[in-house]
């Protein structure tokens, strides 16, 4: 049996892999930089980056070396023991965020679960009683993950449907509408949780005034401002964190996706004083921040720093977004607007976006569909200006070929 032949892979998926992702579009077998190859040998420009995960592209030589060396040295130890990589990575995250404490986990949802647990601990500490102050205000169209807490914080029917009753203690306000958050604050409120840019929700960016207003609201009522940086963090917007554009610092935030460059790692940073709320034994996870994933994440940060990628994303994204705006003028019947920041960009269409995703794949480019007829473009932070411009050419070709249903 040849387990690597494309037909076999499709058959194995059809017979044995859970259908929760629908039928995958193609079989991918190799990646290098901004490109992946499918099982028929076709090269595709990967502007989905595994949903903002392969932040430094596929198989970056520095990352590969670091992971290979770590795999041959020490892959896993439990958190009953120290290992060098985790200490260094925690220090580096604090270097970007400010003095604080870092908890490692394995995914975005799991990071957000820790944020929700932090909110409960904060509520207990500030009310003197468990179960009195526990409510978290979230935003409409938010996405925080699929586990029970994160799902309850994700007010979307397509996420929650079928799994009710939800975990108690969430109130839903309107994104970018400060007054709607203020109106929901009561004695039971412990925290506010938002994204700086809603990636899954359709690439909606928070205004600086909105985030500054939330910061002031949280300070006024002693609420925690929690930010989900799972998608917009680790350089994606041209700054290390998405919230930096508003000039604020949250009380705690989650990271995942781009942090490991492809291996499963999540992290939660909280300001120093909050760290004491997690006493020994109060939280944990077996794999969290093990030597292999910390080596990978440290290698991602090495590359972001040594290749000056934040500055590169800032300067190149200005040119790229301007090129993308040309599509608004070129295809006024199809393209509504280009939005987002850095390398987290949405092309909002006036028509169904799924046929365009398929057309683009046929023409040699992978993109990610998201809510509200939006095509999400998430190039690796290492993308060259040539690759960015190529994506605009391919979009123009696909839009030209688009046949309205
Ligand atoms: C992807 C995502 C999550 C969930 O992360 P997983 O690793 O899939 O659990 C949470 N929040 C945001 C903003 C995300 O984009």
Residues 25 and 93 in one domain: no
Q: Report which secondary-structure segment, H or E, holds 214.
A: helix 208-221
Following CA atoms 166, 168, 174, 176 in sequence, which dihedral angle do they give, to the nearest 10 degrees? -110
**Residue 5 pLDDT grade (very low, low, confident, very high; cuts 50, 70, 90):** low
Residues 146 and 255 in one domain: yes
Say which residue the tokens 């009561």 belong to.
186
Report yes or no on 68 lying in a domain. Answer: no
- Contact between 253 and 231 under an 8 Å Cβ cutoff? The reply is no
**Residue 1 pLDDT grade (very low, low, confident, very high; cuts 50, 70, 90):** very low
Q: Find the helix packing angle between 309-330 and 385-401, rounded to 10°.
A: 20
So what's the pLDDT on residue 404?
72
Q: Classify residue 257 as left (phi > 0), alpha (psi -120 to 50) or beta.
A: left
> Which one of the listed residues 170, 228, 251, 331 is annotated catalytic?
228
The yes-or-no answer on residue 228 being catalytic is: yes
Domain encompassing residue 85: 74-306
- Closest ligand 1 atom to Cα of 231: 15
Report yes or no on 65 lying in a domain. Answer: no
**Residue 400 pLDDT grade (very low, low, confident, very high; cuts 50, 70, 90):** very high
Q: Distance between terminal CA atoms of the chain?
A: 42
Average pLDDT of 270-292? 98
Using the 3D structure, point to which of 306, 325, 347 is the last residue of a domain: 306
Residues 112 and 192 in one domain: yes
So what's the pLDDT on residue 385?
98
> Which one of the listed residues 38, 47, 104, 257 is annotated catalytic?
257
So what's the pLDDT on residue 396?
98
CATH number at residue 176: 3.40.640.10
Question: Please, what is the average pLDDT of the chain?
Answer: 97
Q: How far is the CA of 127 from the centre of ligand 1 (A)?
A: 31
- Closest ligand 1 atom to Cα of 51: 1
pLDDT tens digits for 30-81? 999 999 999 999 999 999 999 999 999 999 999 999 999 999 999 999 999 9
Average pLDDT of 98-113? 98
So what's the pLDDT on residue 2?
47
Residues 122 and 242 in one domain: yes
pLDDT tens digits for 206-237? 999 999 999 999 999 999 999 999 999 999 99
Report yes or no on 213 lying in a domain. Answer: yes
Q: Is the pLDDT of residue 125 over 60?
A: yes
Report yes or no on 50 lying in a domain. Answer: yes
- Ligand 1 proximity of 256 Cβ (cutoff 6 Å): yes
pLDDT tens digits for 347-380? 999 999 999 999 999 999 999 999 889 999 999 9
Which mutation among 108, 199, 374 tests ligand 1's pocket best, with the greatest number of atoms within 8 A of CB?
Answer: 108
Report yes or no on 69 lying in a domain. Answer: no
């Amino acid at each position: 049996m040849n387990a690597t032949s494309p037909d076999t892979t499709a058959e194995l998926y059809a017979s044995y892999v859970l259908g929760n992702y629908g039928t995958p579009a193609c079989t991918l077998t190799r990646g290098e930089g901004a490109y992946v190859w499918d099982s028929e040998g076709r090269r595709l420009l990967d502007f989905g980056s595994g949903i903002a995960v392969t932040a430094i592209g596929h198989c970056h030589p520095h990352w590969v070396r670091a992971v290979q060396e770590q795999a041959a040295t020490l892959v896993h130890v439990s958190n009953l023991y120290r290992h060098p990589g985790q200490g260094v990575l925690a220090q580096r995250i604090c270097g970007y965020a400010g003095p604080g404490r870092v908890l490692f986990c394995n995914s975005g949802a799991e990071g957000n679960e820790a944020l929700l647990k932090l909110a409960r601990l904060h509520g207990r500490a500030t009310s003197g009683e468990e179960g009195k102050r526990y409510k978290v205000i979230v935003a409409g169209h938010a996405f925080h993950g699929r586990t029970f807490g994160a799902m309850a914080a994700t007010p979307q029917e397509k996420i929650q449907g079928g799994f009710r009753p939800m975990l108690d203690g969430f109130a839903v306000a309107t994104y970018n509408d400060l007054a709607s958050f203020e109106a929901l604050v009561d004695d039971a409120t412990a925290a506010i949780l938002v994204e700086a840019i809603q990636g899954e929700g359709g690439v909606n960016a928070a205004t600086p005034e909105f985030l500054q207003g939330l910061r002031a609201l949280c300070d006024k009522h002693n609420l925690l401002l929690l930010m989900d940086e799972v998608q917009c963090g680790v350089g994606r917007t041209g700054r290390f964190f998405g919230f930096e554009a508003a000039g604020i610092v949250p009380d705690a935030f989650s990271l995942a996706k781009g942090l490991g460059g492809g291996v499963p790692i999540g992290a939660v940073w909280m300001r120093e004083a909050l760290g004491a709320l997690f006493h020994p034994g109060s939280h944990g996870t077996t794999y969290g921040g093990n030597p292999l994933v910390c080596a990978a994440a440290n290698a991602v940060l090495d590359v972001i720093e040594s290749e000056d990628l934040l500055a590169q994303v800032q300067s190149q994204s200005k040119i790229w977004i301007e090129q993308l705006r040309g599509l608004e003028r070129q295809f006024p019947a199809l393209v509504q607007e280009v939005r987002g920041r850095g390398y987290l960009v949405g092309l909002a269409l006036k028509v169904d976006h799924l046929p365009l995703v398929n057309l683009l794949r046929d023409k040699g480019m992978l993109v990610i569909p998201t809510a509200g007829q939006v095509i999400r473009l998430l190039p690796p932070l290492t993308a060259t200006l040539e690759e960015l411009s190529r994506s605009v050419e391919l979009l123009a070709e696909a839009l030209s070929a688009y046949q309205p249903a």
